[in-house]
A and B are shown apart, each in its own frame.
Chain A
């Protein structure tokens, strides 16, 4: 009961943010979006850094919006939301990484001609 009470309290008072948090979140998102697109569109970024750059800016912006717009935090009232979110993240990781892994291996081991199938390079 205590935790549920804290939960509603947080929603009623603390968890909605203020003008300041929305403006900070908006400006940070704007900067990160421009950086993401700039990474690809400017052509000034070395080729091998483009992909890591996009991923880093994407994750950064997700975190910014989760904190400043969706008001996620480790505060007692937010703990239920946070734990459900972390669990979902785990499932997403399994689905996405697992799919890519399986499909990559399938493509890598797929041999174009059916004749060669019998030579058995499937390790």
Chain B
């Protein structure tokens, strides 16, 4: 939760600075990069926790019994494609075609929303059908915390995407909007990087 607030706060903050100090955007991007790296540290802590607790199933189901790799492959594809379409949006930002930027951001939003939808369904299935909620074992607590934190990040990214689509429509592609889009671009690609680690170390190693 706090991370999403930080991300959105960063944008609002960047605006104020942009007007006061005539920042060319590079400092904002560097600052945002530092935020992303600190977010990396949050995830590294969660990954370490998950790895340490991955066998602590307390007699409950293990990853091998719970994870459906075909489903995870679907989630992975949605997020990967959304990362690519965000890249296409950024190319159109440079080309200055406002309509295409909004269109590609919308496509990115759809794929991202599809990813979150699949993840919510997966969690719902685990808790209700498999009877494997986060309170069942240390392994499942760590799993839900790690994957859920990533899901929350993607959700806050989706909210940010909606805000940016609105801004591009209302203000056009001015410096402030471009800088915010660059930050969101970093954020979105970063989430895909984290997901690569999630599907590799949680799901793929989990079913071995």
Q: Tell me the bound Cα distance from A80 to B94 in angstroms.
A: 23
Q: Tell me the bound Cα distance from A102 to B45 in angstroms.
A: 14
Give the dominant DSSP class at B's interface: helix
Q: Tell me the bound Cα distance from A17 to B30 in angstroms.
A: 18
Interface residue ranges of A66-123 to B (CB < 8 Å): 66, 69-70, 80-81, 84-85, 87-88, 91-92, 95-96, 98-100, 103
* B33 in contact with A81 (CB, 8 Å): yes
How many residues on the A side are at the interface (Cβ–Cβ under 8 A)?
46
Q: Tell me the bound Cα distance from A47 to B44 in angstroms.
A: 27
Number of A-B contacts (CB under 8 A): 117
* B30 in contact with A58 (CB, 8 Å): no
Give the dominant DSSP class at A's interface: helix
Q: Tell me the bound Cα distance from A40 to B72 in angstroms.
A: 13
Contacts of B189 in A (CB 8 A): 65, 69-70
- Nearest chain-B residue to A6 (Cβ)? B26
Q: Tell me the bound Cα distance from A35 to B26 in angstroms.
A: 37
- In the complex, which of the residues B30, B87, B182, B193 contacts A22, with contact meaning CB atoms closer than 8 Å? B87
* B76 in contact with A33 (CB, 8 Å): yes
Contacts of B88 in A (CB 8 A): 19, 22
* A30 in contact with B80 (CB, 8 Å): yes
The reply on B40 being an interface residue by CB < 8 A is: yes
Interface residue ranges of B9-38 to A (CB < 8 Å): 24-27, 29-30, 33-34, 37
Residues of B within 8 A of A (CB): 24-27, 29-30, 33-34, 37, 40-41, 44-45, 47-49, 51-52, 69-70, 73, 76-77, 80, 83-84, 87-88, 90-91, 94, 182, 186, 189-190, 192-193, 196-197, 199-201, 204-205, 207-208
Residues of A within 8 A of B (CB): 4, 7-8, 11-12, 16-19, 22, 25-26, 29-30, 33, 36-37, 39-41, 50-51, 54-55, 57-58, 61-62, 65-66, 69-70, 80-81, 84-85, 87-88, 91-92, 95-96, 98-100, 103
